[in-house]
Structure 1
């Protein structure tokens, strides 16, 4: 599913996502509003690797740009209450601190995560945004939240074959929520949460386009990353 690469100068190993055609088939869980969620047992932890697919009426460049930039993530991603870039390594790589909302009517309390995020372009206009949790001394675990862990995950954005002006998004998630949480609760809530993420992203990119002048975008993803 991913290819480990040590990126010089970062001190971190980057786990690059594998394009979706090379990922073994998952067990179908849900298909709702043209969003498909499937899963299989993760090889990284005692939990599931989820695969989510959705179609966006946006170019691959615009979609990956929107998903990559951290500034307005919490305005559209309703699963999060905090998403901050805490260290910009270069134009393609940054470290973020996120805090989730509670889920399942409070059965899953908020978690926080420290993730390394990496953007890479491939041939065929395919863009991949990879991420995984890392240790970052400036943001140690606190007593306020349970520190979760994201094993190699991310987004694969590629042109839709029958309509290259639109994009296919394939998202991989393998999140260890940690804490005293029954796996059955996570498995019961994760599919609907992932579908909501795709639907929220579709609404969010529409709102962003309207606010930025009917779809005018900057030329590249790196322009959105500014040191805070």
Structure 2
């Protein structure tokens, strides 16, 4: 698992460094979302950016610890850490709500999560879906697959006490999705 976690950390960091080919999808007062074709699968890689009033060491745990994540991520029905591999690496299980009065089934994801720190106070989360025998697929949900994804949180030197948070997601939701799905904003990206 260490090799996988290290590779995913490098991949998410490479997304953060890549400034080319992004297309603007959404721009509001608080967040900007871009997309580009994914190099991992047939869908898109999404990049959301915003400024948060706090430091990375406080923000990043808020993004992945169950007691915090369930407070802010309204797309989730449940979220838990199944196993801590070491102090910076865990296996997580995420279950989403169904959408469109049940037209879109609930999805679940089992992900390897690695927290990584970089010079300058930058803290990241880095995730990818993995097979985890202790949490097999269930008929209650469609098993989705998260391609390399994560958060990069950087302190703002020009505005101490604030950080830039960048999220990268590229989920393969699996299962059958009605045509209606593609004509509406993606519930995952609209909650960014």
* Unmatched runs of 5 consecutive residues or more in structure 2: none
Q: By how many angstroms is 1:139 displaced?
A: 0.7
- 2:84 corresponds to 1:81: no
CA distance in structure 2 between the partners assigned to 1:68 and 1:110 by the alignment: 20
Residue 128 of structure 2, aligned match among 118, 124, 132: 132
Q: By how many angstroms is 1:103 displaced?
A: 2.9
* Unmatched runs of 5 consecutive residues or more in structure 1: 1-5, 198-228
Q: May I ask how many residue pairs the two structures share in their alignment?
A: 189
CA distance in structure 1 between the partners assigned to 2:67 and 2:44 by the alignment: 29
Q: By how many angstroms is 1:109 displaced?
A: 1.7
1:135-157: CA deviation from partner (whole Å, max 9, x where unpaired): 00011111111100000000000
Q: Specify the alignment match of 2:8 in structure 1.
A: 15
Q: Specify the alignment match of 1:172 in structure 2.
A: 168
Residue 120 of structure 1, aligned match among 100, 105, 116: 116
Shifted more, 158-167 versus 118-127: the winner is: 158-167
TM-score by length of 2: 0.88
Q: By how many angstroms is 1:193 displaced?
A: 4.1
CA distance in structure 2 between the partners assigned to 1:13 and 1:123 by the alignment: 17
Where in structure 2 are the equivalents of 1:58-69 lying within 5 Å? Answer: 58-69=54-65
Where in structure 2 are the equivalents of 1:140-155 lying within 5 Å? Answer: 140-155=136-151
Distance 1:196 1:137, change over 3 A: same
Q: By how many angstroms is 1:119 displaced?
A: 0.1
CA distance in structure 1 between the partners assigned to 2:130 and 2:159 by the alignment: 37
CA distance in structure 2 between the partners assigned to 1:126 and 1:183 by the alignment: 40
CA distance in structure 2 between the partners assigned to 1:187 and 1:18 by the alignment: 31
Q: By how many angstroms is 1:184 displaced?
A: 7.0
Shifted more, 72-81 versus 108-117: the winner is: 72-81
Where in structure 2 are the equivalents of 1:180-199 lying within 5 Å? Answer: 180-182=176-178, 185-186=181-182, 188-190=184-186, 193-197=188-192
Shifted more, 32-41 versus 64-73: the winner is: 64-73
Say whether the 8 Å CA contact 2:80–2:94 is kept in structure 1. Answer: yes
Say whether the 8 Å CA contact 1:35–1:195 is kept in structure 2. Answer: no
Q: By how many angstroms is 1:65 displaced?
A: 2.4
Helix, strand or coil for the counterpart of 1:85?
A: strand
Helix, strand or coil for the counterpart of 1:71?
A: helix
Where in structure 2 are the equivalents of 1:26-45 lying within 5 Å? Answer: 26-45=22-41
Helix, strand or coil for the counterpart of 1:163?
A: coil
Distance 1:105 1:35, change over 3 A: farther
Q: By how many angstroms is 1:34 displaced?
A: 1.9
Q: By how many angstroms is 1:90 displaced?
A: 0.7
